[in-house]
């Protein structure tokens, strides 16, 4: 591994920690000596990286620093290409276009050899065979999540029964065949999952919901035992 690659790996390690991390932990993750970590941190600080801390206490990287030019490993390039294709195939067109735009921005600053690897990626996303949903509904739901606003929905459950709900949407789940809206339901006074293809009508309301979305997300994970990878029970309304 070159020194430049090692410095980039060290930056990536630091970015994963919100709180000070010991030099010994960084050394173990990178597979280098503690002395090398101290020397590399000093080098990054000289180049402008806002790394705070000291030996024996720990280090934390403040946001706002990147090392030009933008560099990725071959596996990271494949992950970027695969992730973009997955978003384009599994989500609504607005989010899919955003993924393509992000990929174009990354491509524009990649060195020529890495750009060739990106363009030659052979990882393919198969057709999802997903249930159809109204893209405008999902667009409204995503906007409501960003602005932390309540939403009125008319929903048809798996038995065909329709109900009107006021929900506080705070997450979207993307699965092989369906998309799930994860929300607090005022009618049920609890967390519920709504399939996007069963939303008959969606209206974003003016009222903000009373708890921040990151708090709702944390409570939902604790309540349902979700770790971010687990498939929650679909259509629990």
The yes-or-no verdict on residue 226 having pLDDT over 80 is: no
Distance in angstroms (rounded) separating the CA atoms of residues 70 and 57: 30
Residue 32's contacts (CB-CB under 8 Å, 6 or more residues apart) are 6, 40
- Out of 1.10.10.10, 3.30.70.940, 3.30.70.980, 1.10.8.60, the CATH code matching 3-61 is 1.10.10.10
The yes-or-no verdict on residue 230 having pLDDT over 60 is: no
The yes-or-no verdict on residue 16 having pLDDT over 80 is: yes
Q: What pLDDT score does 116 carry?
A: 81
The yes-or-no verdict on residue 55 having pLDDT over 90 is: no
Q: Does domain 135-224 have CATH number 2.30.30.520?
A: yes
% of the chain beyond a pLDDT of 90: 36
Average pLDDT over residues 195-223: 93
Count of Cβ atoms closer than 10 Å to residue 50 Cβ: 12
Q: What pLDDT score does 220 carry?
A: 93
Q: What is the dihedral of CA 82, 84, 85, 87, to 10 degrees?
A: 120
pLDDT level of residue 2 (50, 70, 90 thresholds): low
Residue pLDDT, tens place only, 96-119: 888 888 888 777 767 777 778 778
- Tell me whether domains 3-61 and 135-224 share a fold: no
Residue pLDDT, tens place only, 58-102: 999 887 665 555 567 778 888 888 888 888 777 777 888 888 888
Degrees, nearest 5: CA angle 84-87-91: 160
**Residue boundaries of the structural domains of the chain:** 3-61, 74-119, 135-224
Distance in angstroms (rounded) separating the CA atoms of residues 138 and 151: 12
Distance of CA 52 to the CA centre of its chain: 26
Average pLDDT over residues 12-33: 89
Q: What pLDDT score does 217 carry?
A: 93
In Å, how far are 23, 25, 225, 233 from 56, measured between CA atoms?
8, 11, 36, 46
Instruction: State the DSSP H helix or E strand holding residue 171, giving kind and residue range, or none if neither.
Output: strand 162-174
Q: What pLDDT score does 39 carry?
A: 92
CB 100 within 8 A of CB 88: yes
Q: What pLDDT score does 161 carry?
A: 93
Residue identified by tokens 């920690």 is 17
Q: What pLDDT score does 164 carry?
A: 95
CB 237 within 8 A of CB 186: no
């Amino acid at each position: 591994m070159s020194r430049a690659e090692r410095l980039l790996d060290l930056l990536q390690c630091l970015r994963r920690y919100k709180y000070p991390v010991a030099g010994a932990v960084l050394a173990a993750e990178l597979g280098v000596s503690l002395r090398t970590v101290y020397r590399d941190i000093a080098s990054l600080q000289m180049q402008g990286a806002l790394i705070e801390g000291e030996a024996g206490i720990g280090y934390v990287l403040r946001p706002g620093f990147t090392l030009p030019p933008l560099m990725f490993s071959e596996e990271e390039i494949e992950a970027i290409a695969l992730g973009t294709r997955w978003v384009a195939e599994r989500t609504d067109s607005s989010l899919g276009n955003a993924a393509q735009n992000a990929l174009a921005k990354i491509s524009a600053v990649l060195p020529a050899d890495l750009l060739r690897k990106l363009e030659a990626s052979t990882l393919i996303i198969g057709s999802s065979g997903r249930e159809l949903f109204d893209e405008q509904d999902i667009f409204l739901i995503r906007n409501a999540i960003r602005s932390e606003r309540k939403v009125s929905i008319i929903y048809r459950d798996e038995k065909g029964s329709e109900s009107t709900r006021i929900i506080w949407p705070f997450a979207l789940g993307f699965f092989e065949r369906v998309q799930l809206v994860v929300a607090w339901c005022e009618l049920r006074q609890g967390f519920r999952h709504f399939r996007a293809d069963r939303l008959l009508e969606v209206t974003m309301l003016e009222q903000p919901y009373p708890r921040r979305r990151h708090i709702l997300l944390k409570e939902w994970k604790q309540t349902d035992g979700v770790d971010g990878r687990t498939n929650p029970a679909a259509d629990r309304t």
